[in-house]
Structure 1
């Protein structure tokens, strides 16, 4: 349904599609909220409502999408925090929430999702320290957190991860020394 010019928000009735695996509604000029009823989609693997005018909070109910591997909602006007309920998504690999109005800290429950390979949250007003848990994400390849309000020291073990190929933390308020351990030691 992407790249059309529908004038309505994401219909909550989409949750009636119990076998839906892919929901792509990119560049649709959609307004309104991401409906909490999406949490009823137990088989959905990818949700992408990027490049719209969606606002409001990311619903906690998305944490009920047990099969979700990718949630991409960049270039919207989403507000509030990244809900801790997303930490229940044990299969999620891609979390893309760039260019929104998200604020608050990214809670530990999200940093503990071992399946994550990509975290893109740039151009928001997210805050907090980078927790040591990020160093334990063994599949993480890309960490793009620039242009936010993160602070504190960068965890020393961040560079140990063999899978990590890109990190961008510019335009934040990190302090201290850059103490990355970039030796690719034993796995």
Structure 2
């Protein structure tokens, strides 16, 4: 458990040669400071963690950029960096990982720039949360190629323009349909093919959503 101080992450320097490490969970540990260079700009360091499949670093106080060298972790299926103080752009390298199939959660940070078109390569990704950042520009039509998504959250950013029609290709979405934002004044819309959507609006006559005991994210 961290002390919320700038040097909390120094211990990661000693893990760069843990080549058989598969899961690393440091979520909700009150860690602060910048992610060390040993897993950032030095490309070979993070690439040595070739068996890493899940990386949980959410709910800490981490600063700096998301290391682009994570793109060398070819077995990575879950990347969860939400609820930190990360900034900069979304690295294109992590969007080119075919292994990233379970979850990419980088919400609740200060990430900026547009969503790279390379996100189209995550065709098997199930869970994508980019909410509560400073992402801007138009919503990329490439998201329509992420056909395995069951959850997509782009809320609380500064996007502009129209919602791309390519999102109609997302037929695996599930959960509650929003009732705010663009959905509040929509005169008509279709949810065809998404038979696991529920609640929210009366017009499509969707089934009621089941109440869950916990709202914690499940990957």
Deviation at 1:36, TM superposition (A): 1.9
Aligned length: 158
Moved more, 168-177 or 58-67: 58-67
Find the residue that maps to 1:151 and give its secondary structure.
strand
The one-character-per-residue Cα deviations of 1:118-177 (angstroms, maximum 9, x if unpaired) are: 110111101111011101212111110110000111111312333111110100011111
Residue in 2 that maps onto 1:36:
13
CA contact (8 A) 1:128 1:151 kept: yes
Please, which of 104, 108, 112 is the counterpart of residue 127 of structure 1? 112
Residue in 1 that maps onto 2:150:
165
Where do 1:70-149 residues align within 5 Å?
A: 70-117=54-101, 118-149=103-134
Deviation at 1:29, TM superposition (A): 4.6
Moved more, 176-185 or 41-50: 176-185
Distance 1:121 1:154 in 2: 16
Q: Which runs of 4+ in 1 moved over 3 A?
A: 28-31
Structure 1 residues 184, 121: CA separation in 2 closer, same or farther (over 3 Å shift)?
Answer: closer
> Normalized against structure 1, the TM-score is what?
0.78
Q: CA RMSD in A?
A: 1.7
Structure 1: runs of 5+ lacking an equivalent? 1-27
The one-character-per-residue Cα deviations of 1:107-127 (angstroms, maximum 9, x if unpaired) are: 211221111121101111011
> Normalized against structure 2, the TM-score is what?
0.68
Greater Cα radius of gyration, structure 1 or 2:
2
